[in-house]
Amino acid sequence: MGWFRAPLPAFHDPAPYSVSVGGPEGRWTGAGLVLAADTVLTCAHVVNDALGRHPFEVRTPGPGELHVAIRMPYGRFERCPARVAHWIPPRAKEGGPVPDSADEWLGDLAVLRVDAPPGSAPAPPHRSALRAGQEVRAWHASGHDATFADLKVKTDDGPIAYLDGEATGMAVGPGYSGGPLWCLHEKAVVGLVAAHFMPPRDATNGRPVPPDPQHLIRRSWGIPWQRVEAELRTAGVPDLTGPASAGPDDAAFGLLAETIGDALPTGSELGDVARRLATECGVGHGGDVTPPTVEEFAAFLLQHPRALPVLTGLLRKNHPEAAERILAAGQLSRVPRLLSPREHHQLHARLRDLDPGVLARFAEAVRAALPLAAAFPGGETLDALIDHLETLPGDGRSEDGEPRVPALLRVLEYVGALCAQEHRARLRIWSDGVAKRLGIPRSALAERRSDGLEWARALRSRSRVRVLVQVRAAEPGRHRLRIWCDEGTGPRQVSTDTSMSYTPQEAARELIQVLETLTPATEDAERPLVEVLVDDKSLNLPVDEWEAQAPGQIVPGVLGVEYPLVVHCPDLLRRHERFQPDWRRRWRLLDTGATLVVSGASLDPKTLYAELMDRLDAVRVSVDVPAEHRDRIVQICLAMGIPVVVWDRARDQDSHAVERLAGAATRELPDKVRSYRANTVLHPREYPGRPVLAWADADRTVPRLHLTEPQESA
């Protein structure tokens, strides 16, 4: 064993390798395995359960927070926030979704990034292949010492392994999934617990049937470690299946050893820096007397992915030339990452504080900041994107051989441009520190910072094609329309006869004919936005449900299903003109402002007024109150300049639609509401809501004529 070494695994007590995994409410749904100081492996269905989702849900979880409990000495537990970094959902053996009745499946892995205090997680255990005949042990998510279950591996020739429990002691059951299978003889983890076969129950009443010698007793199945490695490798999960190897044949090895020897020529200097490096990386070392050899030092830099960034930080002040040479040598190897452990932890702490709407646009910022970068893997999490960004080189705009701005720092400047001032400042302070360690001139980072701000300004000015339609009541069951188109240069009227009235079906047909004439600016342009201009008595008019099915037509045309459709009541803003500056200010904060939820049956309008005046950063209100209060609440919000208001015209309270749309980024709401309406047609029981989205864009003009003067020219 070399001078740099991880703490010896506690073979006499392997239980700390098993952690508890649960949701934000504190309920532990399964176990997990420590893979690194900040990384835990568990089953995907454990995560689904913790987040209140179906066990076989395949969609990658959002940034919703999980919790992991790490076993500490003396029976204590360290509870830490965690999130999904890599996602391998459950899948049927033949591919596709897993049926609810399935007993076996493939995939089902989730890598969690854990915000654990330094030194709280045990050193990763040894891992070995699972083999038939091994005696293994598993632990329950509760973490109690008495919950261990002893099992014997029966098969090892497939993607799953069958395990039989002993007739005495604990039996594997709910709460064991995702935990490690610890081989008692080899003192290594050989797989994960995945599921168990429960005793049979009576088909009529669901109660357990009397025991029978023919029943299957205490059989479980797990995922062999060799299968875990294959799944992680296929999913592109980096650096989690074991430490990298390094030696004299590595292209960077010789240059690193030479540079370390030149910069730290004495044993005391070498030992002092080596001990500080080991501490920062969370590993053990050979003591205070004998320093490592330069070869051991260089090998460690090529084994620990974050050791080289730590070393450059230690050398930057007193040995800047050595720091530059070490950075250059690191580019010859694929092992070193961009950030030190401390920088990596601080970055995620800052990102965790950002508005969910900004985080939802992280991938968009990546595409804008790195337009020439290779394609990113689809469906990745925020952690996976950051992991990938760390491996990308800097951009090509540098002069006189100056260090180039890394891809990750450039992306974060674009993300920061979307943030509120306070969060932007914190991201910039973090970026300044990393850039200083890397020797990047402030002018280079300032240029990328300017690029990000320019992109954010262009983003705010960029808008989709829209069709505006004023809808006014005529005789019962009929409506009068006035229609404008706006391709970005302002509304132009396309309807001239304002005396004609239409049934809902005729009105939908008229609108779709106008929409079909619009030519998208680019092939990937968004579908036009339909903006319905109404008075304050018609906010719940079901224009989105109007269908343009005509005789002889094959395809129906439901307006709110085909097109993102919003309502707008300019007359409310006009009648309460003092709130128009607030409206424009709130709109500018659309990507970073706050969301308020109004619920409860007894909300006093004066209380709402005071809350909206107190929260001038609020840009969006979700209204989920009984029908007798709802319209008044909505009108107050719109009159006071809230640009985005969501409610359900079909429900009194506890709206599925309002709850479902709560997690959507504000700017994406028109398309998310359209998608919900499509699902209302497709799955009416699962999507019972009738969502209404009021959308008042302060950057786009509306015709001068709205509701009260039907003959005035627009």
| Mean pLDDT score, 670-680 | 94
Kindly write down the DSSP assignment for every residue of 556-607, as one continuous string: --BHHHHS-EEEE-HHHHHHTGGGHHHHHHHHHTTTTSEEEEEE-TT--HHH
Q: Which residues contact 269 (CB under 8 A, 6 or more apart)?
A: none
Q: pLDDT at position 462, please?
A: 63
Indicate whether 569 pLDDT > 90.
Answer: yes
CA-based nearest residue to 104, from 26, 181, 219: 219
Q: Binning pLDDT at 50, 70 and 90, where does residue 394 land?
A: confident
Q: Binning pLDDT at 50, 70 and 90, where does residue 167 land?
A: confident
Half-sphere exposure of 390 (CA within 13 A, CB side): 24
Indicate whether 707 pLDDT > 80.
Answer: no
Q: Binning pLDDT at 50, 70 and 90, where does residue 602 land?
A: low
- What percent of the chain is modeled with pLDDT above 70? 87
Indicate whether 38 pLDDT > 70.
Answer: yes
Q: Which residues of 500-528 are buried (b: 16+ CB within 10 A; e: fewer)?
A: ebbebebbbbbbbebbeebeeeeeeeebb
**What does the longest C-alpha to C-alpha distance in the chain come to?**
96
Question: What three-state secondary structure class fits 212?
Answer: coil
DSSP 402: P
Which of these ranges, 109-118, 208-217, 413-422, has the smallest mean pLDDT?
Answer: 208-217
Four-point Cα dihedral 302, 305, 307, 311, nearest 10 = 80
Quick check: 38 and 115 in contact, CB under 8 A? yes
Which whole-number Å values give the CA distances from 432 to 398, 440, 612, in the listed order? 17, 9, 36
Q: pLDDT at position 704, please?
A: 62
Cα–Cα dist 308/302, whole Å:
8
Structure tokens at 562: 């085909």
Strand-pair partners of 34: 40
| Mean pLDDT score, 666-676 | 93
Q: Binning pLDDT at 50, 70 and 90, where does residue 11 land?
A: very low
Cα–Cα dist 439/317, whole Å:
10
Q: Binning pLDDT at 50, 70 and 90, where does residue 251 land?
A: confident
Which of these ranges, 39-48, 327-336, 415-424, 551-560, has the smallest mean pLDDT?
Answer: 551-560
Quick check: 308 and 325 in contact, CB under 8 A? no
Indicate whether 246 pLDDT > 70.
Answer: no
- Mean pLDDT, the chain, rounded, equals 85
Indicate whether 361 pLDDT > 50.
Answer: yes
CA-based nearest residue to 467, from 562, 531, 542: 531
Q: What pTM was estimated for this model as a whole?
A: 0.63
Residue whose tokens read 């920088």: 343
Q: Assign residue 667 a region: left if phi > 0, alpha if psi is -120 to 50, beta otherwise?
A: alpha
Segment of 194-208, 604-618, 648-662 carrying the highest mean pLDDT = 604-618
Each residue's pLDDT tens digit, 78-125: 888 898 989 999 999 888 889 988 889 999 999 998 887 766 777 778
CA 308 remoteness from chain centre = 28
Indicate whether 546 pLDDT > 80.
Answer: yes
Please provide residue 418's backbone torsions phi and psi, each rounded to the nearest 5 degrees.
-90, -10
Quick check: 478 and 502 in contact, CB under 8 A? yes
Residue whose tokens read 């600016």: 521
| Mean pLDDT score, 345-371 | 83
Higher pLDDT, 458 or 52: 52
Please provide residue 177's backbone torsions phi and psi, each rounded to the nearest 5 degrees.
-55, 140
| Mean pLDDT score, 655-683 | 92
Indicate whether 523 pLDDT > 60.
Answer: no
Q: pLDDT at position 377, please?
A: 52
Indicate whether 207 pLDDT > 80.
Answer: no
DSSP 396: S
Q: pLDDT at position 711, please?
A: 35
Which of these ranges, 293-297, 330-334, 357-361, has the smallest mean pLDDT?
Answer: 357-361
Cα–Cα dist 297/265, whole Å:
13
| Angle, helix 407-416 to helix 442-461, in steps of 10 degrees | 50
What is the torsional sign of CA 88, 93, 96, 100? negative
Which of these ranges, 42-51, 215-224, 314-323, 476-485, has the smallest mean pLDDT?
Answer: 215-224
Rg (CA), the chain: 30
| Mean pLDDT score, 470-497 | 84
Which of these ranges, 20-29, 428-437, 666-675, has the smallest mean pLDDT?
Answer: 20-29
CA-based nearest residue to 335, from 299, 297, 304: 304
Q: pLDDT at position 524, please?
A: 55
Which whole-number Å values give the CA distances from 643 to 573, 581, 704, in the listed order? 10, 12, 19
Q: pLDDT at position 714, please?
A: 32
Indicate whether 203 pLDDT > 70.
Answer: no
45: burial class by Cβ within 10 Å (0-12, 13-18, 19+)? Answer: buried
Higher pLDDT, 621 or 708: 621
Q: Which helix (H) or strand (E) holds 547?
A: none
Please provide residue 461's backbone torsions phi and psi, each rounded to the nearest 5 degrees.
-85, -20
Q: pLDDT at position 713, please?
A: 32
Which of these ranges, 112-121, 447-456, 639-648, 697-706, has the smallest mean pLDDT?
Answer: 697-706
Residue whose tokens read 């994107």: 385
Indicate whether 497 pLDDT > 80.
Answer: no
CA-based nearest residue to 601, from 621, 623, 617, 580: 623
Q: Binning pLDDT at 50, 70 and 90, where does residue 163 land?
A: very high
Indicate whether 496 pLDDT > 70.
Answer: no
683: burial class by Cβ within 10 Å (0-12, 13-18, 19+)? Answer: exposed
Indicate whether 10 pLDDT > 50.
Answer: no
Indicate whether 74 pLDDT > 70.
Answer: no
Higher pLDDT, 406 or 24: 406
Q: Which helix (H) or strand (E) holds 568?
A: strand 565-568
